[in-house]
Amino acid sequence: MRLDKKIALVTGGAAGIGKATVKRFAEAGAKVAFCDVNDEQGAALLNELGSENDFQQVNVTDRTAVQDWVDRVAKKYGCIDILINNAGILRDGLFVKVKNGELVKQMSEEAFDSVMAVNLKGVFNCTQAVAPYMITQQAGSIVNASSVVGLDGNFGQTNYVATKAGVVGMTKVWARELGSNNIRVNAVAPGMILTEMVQSMPKDALKAFEQKPPLKRLGTPEEVANLYLFLASDDASYISGQVIRIDGGMVIGT
């Protein structure tokens, strides 16, 4: 019960790594308030966990909705101990493609802006809403979802890489700014994780990805959730401003 009596917020908590995190935190004794844009999946998970936890449909790009959610959770439980900024989306595409001297394809402005809004501004919105509560109580742990591609870059992911690199930068700034209030801020950088979306890939593509890490397998959502749990818990009480890779030893491009 490493999170006994803790109040934890998790964004993007209805599926994938977020769902595994919500379940793991509840098992560890926390009361978990999670949000997602998928109301049906979120409600189903809450029904599975029990009414001592909380779910609300929230789009993290909407500052007003985020603030309303955070205020409601703080009022319901009396405090906020943990924030896991997990919500994120993909809109992959080539930055630019030229053939025979002619521009034939490029990443759209919509694809760039939508990923920026969720993956970067969403983290900004949620953390800015939660931080005053943690400052008041002089305690808290914030964990942000980055990615190995935010550290190494990756083909066809200009928008996604930019957001995940930005998350690393914000993590380090907030660790400095909030540390005097006993608030720790860290980031997790997963590699290829076997979420529902990844599982839907063609089997031959999955096998190829499995061979990239030295451990010769993909990670599981539960393994990432365990890292979130460690960083959120008092076991990590002197860890702040760090970016921890969880990628089976993978190096992009090898």
Q: What is the pLDDT of residues 168-209, one digit of tens each?
A: 999 999 999 999 999 999 999 999 898 887 787 788 888 888
Average pLDDT over residues 90-96: 93
Indicate whether 140 pLDDT > 90.
Answer: yes
- What is the sign, positive or negative, of the torsion defined by CA atoms of 167, 156, 118, 212? negative
Q: List all residues 6 or more positions away from 19 whose beta carbon is below 8 Å from its beta carbon.
A: 13, 41, 45, 221
The per-residue pLDDT for 253 is 53
Rounded Cα distance between 72 and 10, Å, is 14
Q: What is the 3-state secondary structure of 104-128? A: EEECCHHHHHHHHHHHHHHHHHHHH
Higher pLDDT, 167 or 195: 167
Indicate whether 16 pLDDT > 60.
Answer: yes
Average of per-residue pLDDT values in the chain? 95
Indicate whether 89 pLDDT > 90.
Answer: yes
CB atoms within 10 A of CB 29: 12
The per-residue pLDDT for 26 is 98
Question: Can you give the residue ranges of every domain in the chain?
Answer: 7-91+118-246
Which residue type sits at 31? K
CB atoms within 10 A of CB 48: 12
The per-residue pLDDT for 186 is 98
Average pLDDT over residues 118-123: 98
Sheet holding 243-246, edge to edge: 54-57, 31-36, 7-11, 82-85, 140-145, 183-190, 243-246
Q: How confident is the model at residue 254 (pLDDT cuts 50, 70, 90)?
A: very low
**Contact 240/179 with Cβ under 8 angstroms?**
yes
Residues labelled catalytic: 160
Q: Under CATH, to which class is 7-91+118-246 assigned?
A: alpha beta
**Contact 85/142 with Cβ under 8 angstroms?**
yes
Query: Please, what is the end-to-end C-alpha distance for the chain in angstroms?
Result: 39
Higher pLDDT, 217 or 244: 244
Rounded Cα distance between 169 and 175, Å, is 10
Give residue-wise pLDDT tens across range 107-119: 999 999 999 999 9
The per-residue pLDDT for 107 is 96
Question: How far from 40 is each of 44, 47, 117, 186, CA to CA, in Å?
Answer: 6, 11, 23, 30
Q: How confident is the model at residue 161 (pLDDT cuts 50, 70, 90)?
A: very high
The per-residue pLDDT for 96 is 95
- Percent of the chain surpassing pLDDT 70: 98
Q: List all residues 6 or more positions away from 50 whose beta carbon is below 8 Å from its beta carbon.
A: 26
Which residue type sits at 166? G
The per-residue pLDDT for 252 is 57
Rounded Cα distance between 212 and 97, Å, is 26
Rounded Cα distance between 201 and 179, Å, is 41
**Contact 118/87 with Cβ under 8 angstroms?**
yes
Rounded Cα distance between 207 and 103, Å, is 34
As given in the structure block, the two tokens for residue 243 are: 């970016």
As given in the structure block, the two tokens for residue 146 are: 């980055």
